[in-house]
Structure 1
Amino acid sequence: MPTAHIAVYDTFADWEPGHLLAELRTGRFTGCPFDVVTVADTLDPVTTMGGLRVVPDALVADLDPAASDLLILPGAELWDSGGGDAFVDAARRFLDAGVPVAAICGATFGLARGGLLDARDHTSAAAEYLAASGYGGGDRYVEARAVADRGLITAGPDAPVQFAAATLEALGQIAPQTRSAYEAVFGDGDAAAYGTLMAATA
């Protein structure tokens, strides 16, 4: 079974990776469930922005890209306050090893600060937001809900559905037409597209 690692830290925005985690864990539209493993700086429980208490499974310091198929980085207060270096380092190891990284909201700011967005197309909450990191990748910013470029998937806080769909497509778990149907159903409330999702695993 493939494995997805999700970084957890206090105040992480639990809704941002919510759609993606549900689809990875169940495989309901892909036919390929993932083992979802939480990673943190310590094994102490963390509390999400929504108040959920999460007990990490593993330490980010021990995270080996060879034992993973995806690293997910959600937003949280630590990114804007200059924290998260251990997770940026992990993202660098993953990308260098050819293992995908999916970052949303504040996590994109952390990756920008770490130089990981300088040479890849990307998006976030706004171009001005990332510019405040002092990064050198402003010319690669794309005005889109989610962007995938060479193993790095980025999205802003208003795009959890698109983030999920783009990541699943980048992993080769869904075809472009299935991605479109997923975004139509869960992003636009278009029930007519549900049949396309069901047909994907029929």
Structure 2
Amino acid sequence: MTGEPLRVVLADDDSLIRTAIDAILRPVDGIELVAQAADGRAAVELAVRHRPDVALLDIQMPVLDGLAALREIRLVAPAVRVVVLTTFGQDEYVAQALAAGAAGFLLKESAAEELAYAIRAAAAGNAYLSPKITRQVLDRLPAATARPDRDRAKADGLSGREREILILLAQGLSNAEIARQLFVSEGTVKTHVYRIFTKLGCENRVQAAMLAQRAGLLDGDS
């Protein structure tokens, strides 16, 4: 990989989590973990001092929690993209994190490839949310400004294959899982997902899943 590596700071009050993420990222080409913190206040200070490309923030931290730290970083170091780390079952925080400007929402138990992908996506200006929590948050996220007629019109602009992938995406399947189910390559699925986001005007999987739900694509889905 050419060019400077993506610089990352990590904040989590659990030293085992920090050690695990450090071990995951250390061998990844093009990503460098430059600093770590055990609380939200220190995370903000590290973001200002190091100006990393991406900050990985736990939600529940002492002194300043992850959401408060996220808001401060967006104010004092707006170029830093923030990916929020969580454990499964904390999906009530997703709406707050997205509203505060998070560029991603990732499960701590995510595989190494997903963590690296989320960091690269955030640094590139995209939003990334773990596929495993997409379906779980649909009922918690507000449906404000829901306009089903407009959403159905957008969905009608998708090809048959794109609609099929959108439904699977909204069911919480990852790109790899969709590829296995449809007997296509993961690269093909990624291309379709990109086109789906572009056509629907969505930035991430949760937004696309919500639109699919409002458009009635999930009706009858168990």
Regarding TM over 0.5, the answer is no
TM-score range, shorter chain: 0.3 to 0.5
- TM score, norm. by length of structure 1: 0.42
Greater share of helix residues, 1 or 2? 2
Larger Rg: 2
TM-score, normalised with respect to structure 2: 0.39
